[in-house]
Chain A
Amino acid sequence: DAGITQSPRYKITETGRQVTLMCHQTWSHSYMFWYRQDLGHGLRLIYYSAAADITDKGEVPDGYVVSRSKTENFPLTLESATRSQTSVYFCASSTSGKETQYFGPGTRLLVL
């Protein structure tokens, strides 16, 4: 089906482990974004990408790594997970950085 998907939808991991969250979109949107959502903080931008092989930091990039080798995929990696990274992670895409963002269903991550 067309759209934007995220996997896994739920993940439990332990402190210090590496975790990769996947995001895939079928619209060929240029821009892709990763947000984390925590109560009281709304959505905070982690990283974004304007095109393949172009990525840039958002508001809270520390502890995260991204890559964009293909337009349709934008994986987010937590190199050494910490408890403070327990959150709900949303991926989004848009045709440009100023247009409507289309969000995925989210990944709920628990770091023990």
Chain B
Amino acid sequence: TQLLEQSPQFLSIQEGENLTVYCNSSSVFSSLQWYRQEPGEGPVLLVTVVTGGEVKKLKRLTFQFGDARKDSSLHITAAQPGDTGLYLCEGTSYGKLTFGQGTILTVHP
């Protein structure tokens, strides 16, 4: 069974702080995706990483795929209240999709 361990499960910070969310597994993934979900809506894709060591930036969000393609991180710089939401990682391995448990981020003004 493939598992994606996502941490932390909850994160409550003040506006302007930095944060990192981690997604770890013992399995190797051909690709890994990060989604953001707002209350009452479905997840929306933020980024896909496919190459070991790959780093992608989306404004204040930085995504990194581990060299061995077993882990990934999402770093947010100077968090804003609009970043509040549920962040989900999803990995694809041998055609099977697995989601992490999610990180609920709350950014207080």
Interface on A for B, CB 8 Å cutoff?
Answer: 33, 35, 40-45, 90, 92, 97-98, 100-106
Q: Is the CB of A105 within 8 A of B41?
A: yes
Interface range for B: 20 to 34
Residues of chain A with a CB closer than 8 A to B42's CB: 90, 92, 103-106
Pick 24 A–B contacts, CB within 8 A, sort by A: A35-B99, A40-B101, A42-B88, A43-B88, A90-B43, A97-B92, A97-B95, A98-B30, A98-B31, A98-B92, A100-B45, A100-B48, A101-B45, A101-B90, A101-B97, A103-B42, A103-B43, A103-B44, A104-B42, A105-B40, A105-B42, A106-B40, A106-B41, A106-B42
Q: Which residues of B contact A90 (CB under 8 A)?
A: 42-43
Given contacts A42-B6, A42-B88, contact A97 B97 (CB under 8 A): yes
Interface set, chain B 6-45, CB cutoff 8 A to A: 6, 9, 30-31, 33, 40-45
Complex: A46 Cα to B37 Cα, angstroms: 19
Q: Which residues of B contact A104 (CB under 8 A)?
A: 42
Question: With a CB–CB cut-off of 8 A, which chain B residues contact A45?
Answer: 97
B66 in contact (CB, < 8 A): no
Tell me the minimal C-beta distance from B24 to chain A in angstroms.
Answer: 14
**Chain B residues within 8 Å of A40, by CB:** 9, 101
Closest-by-CB residue of B relative to A92 is B42
- How many angstroms between the C-alpha atoms of A92 and B88 in the bound complex? 15
Picked from B9, B30, B95, B99, the residue with its CB within 8 Å of the CB of A44 is B99
Q: What is the CB-to-nearest-CB distance from B97 to chain A, in angstroms, rounded to a whole number? A: 7
Nearest Cβ distance between residue B93 and chain A, in whole angstroms? 10
Q: Given A103-B43, A105-B40, are A98 and B95 neighbors across the interface (CB < 8 Å)? A: yes
Q: CB-defined interface of B63-93 with A at 8 Å, one 1/0 digit per residue?
A: 0000000000000000000000000101010
In the complex, A41→B44 CA distance in Å? Answer: 18
